[in-house]
Structure 1
Amino acid sequence: MKIILSSASPRRRSILKDAGFDFEILAIDVDESFPPNLNSKQVPAFIASKKMDAARQSVATKDNIIITADTVVLLGDEIIGKPINVEDAKHILRKLSGKMHKVITAVCICKNGIETCMESETNVYFDTMTDLEIENYITAFKPFDKAGAYAIQEWIGLNKILRIEGDYYNVVGFPMSKVYPFLNENQ
């Protein structure tokens, strides 16, 4: 069976490659909007499923394993998305500074037309950050393609995350500990 990762995320590609799987990339543009009354914890599964619907229209499901995913950062019930500019990134990181937030990733896998979805949730505890630290981080790492305006594998993860409860790779954007058993068994 051929594995098809329907994701533009370089981090997801890297994790799947490092786990030892050969795969093809299918990057599809999907409207990531969701119903306003949807519980914030259900948003990643909703969007990952929308991505799967789009991927299934672009590639045959027979003899293929298609993977889609979506990650959200939650501060309370508020979804913290990707920053749209420098000021937005500063605002997001100031909000997260000194607080615990959740990272939830949903992964949908379709094999021979049968879809399975799984989720991973990780609590992330940030130390406080000064405005200068926030500005320097944004300048150096340009976190505009990352939910929550940060990457755990960069400076913030090394210096300002006090601890996590859950899967590190979930925070990166792809909970391989959930995905690996399925792929290993079904490849």
Structure 2
Amino acid sequence: MLILASGSPKRQELLKQVELNFLTIIPNVDESSVTERDPQKKAMALASLKSYAIDNDEDIILSCDTLIQFNGEILEKPADRADARHMLKMLSGKTHTVISAALLRKGDTEIPIVRETEVEFFELDDKEIEHYLNTDEPYDKAAAYGIQGLGAKFVKRISGDYNAVVGLPLGDVCRELRFFE
């Protein structure tokens, strides 16, 4: 059995899209305990933290984390409206990197996956930023936008794996799951 260690509806949708059977268990973790500064290492450390919060060595655990890196800084979920506005203005007309880490684990066997995708935004004006900030979307997303929702209208170009930007490097996960067959 595959266990998704995430409460993300988008990750669940992606797994259903490729007809994977899975059970969802939301791990109880303190993400602030991970102090790693390197974005790739931090994303994988968070995925690992979530995986090992699930006490199960019999099934395959899939855990994930997605981070945004811009100018050497990790952009987390915004603290408030002003923080979301600041992030969107910062990303306006520029390219940022989305780092999506997944960990497949069964017992002591681990398969780490890290995928980087470049996303370029159009120039955003204040009116469209404010309109977006009036929705619920930016406040529970890294860097204050969701590519799979209203935030899609900000994206000029993407270079890499769209599903990884949504939150799960789906193709990589499906390929690596074959190891456990």
Q: TM-score of the superposition, structure 2-length normalised?
A: 0.93
Question: Secondary structure of 1:156's partner?
Answer: helix
Tell me how far 1:141 sits from its aligned partner: 4.3
Q: Which residue number corresponds to residue 165 of structure 1?
A: 159
Q: Does residue 116 of the first structure (1) align with residue 111 of the second (2)?
A: yes
Q: Which residue number corresponds to residue 132 of structure 1?
A: 127
Deviations 1:47-84 (A, max 9, x none): 111111212xx3x212x110100100000210000112
Query: Root-mean-square deviation (CA), in Å?
Result: 1.5
Aligned mates of 2:136, 2:147 — CA distance in 1: 12
Tell me how far 1:92 sits from its aligned partner: 1.1
Q: Which residue number corresponds to residue 41 of structure 1?
A: 40
Q: Does residue 65 of the first structure (1) align with residue 64 of the second (2)?
A: no
Q: Which residue number corresponds to residue 103 of structure 1?
A: 98
Higher mean C-alpha displacement, 140-149 vs 9-18? 140-149
Question: Secondary structure of 1:13's partner?
Answer: helix
Higher mean C-alpha displacement, 105-114 vs 176-185? 176-185
Aligned mates of 2:137, 2:145 — CA distance in 1: 9
Question: Secondary structure of 1:52's partner?
Answer: helix
Q: Which residue number corresponds to residue 14 of structure 2?
A: 15
Q: TM-score of the superposition, structure 1-length normalised?
A: 0.90
Q: Which residue number corresponds to residue 76 of structure 2?
A: 81
Aligned mates of 2:161, 2:131 — CA distance in 1: 27
Q: Does residue 145 of the first structure (1) align with residue 145 of the second (2)?
A: no
Q: Go from structure 1 to structure 2 and tell me whether the alpha carbon gap of 1:117 and 1:131 turns closer, same or farther (over 3 Å shift).
A: same
Tell me how far 1:140 sits from its aligned partner: 2.8
Question: Secondary structure of 2:134's partner?
Answer: helix
Unaligned runs of 5+ in 2: none
Tell me how far 1:183 sits from its aligned partner: 2.4
Tell me how far 1:142 sits from its aligned partner: 2.6
Question: Secondary structure of 1:140's partner?
Answer: coil
Unaligned runs of 5+ in 1: none
Aligned mates of 1:184, 1:18 — CA distance in 2: 17
CA contact (8 A) 2:137 2:150 kept: no
Fraction of identical pairs, as percent: 37
Question: Secondary structure of 1:67's partner?
Answer: strand
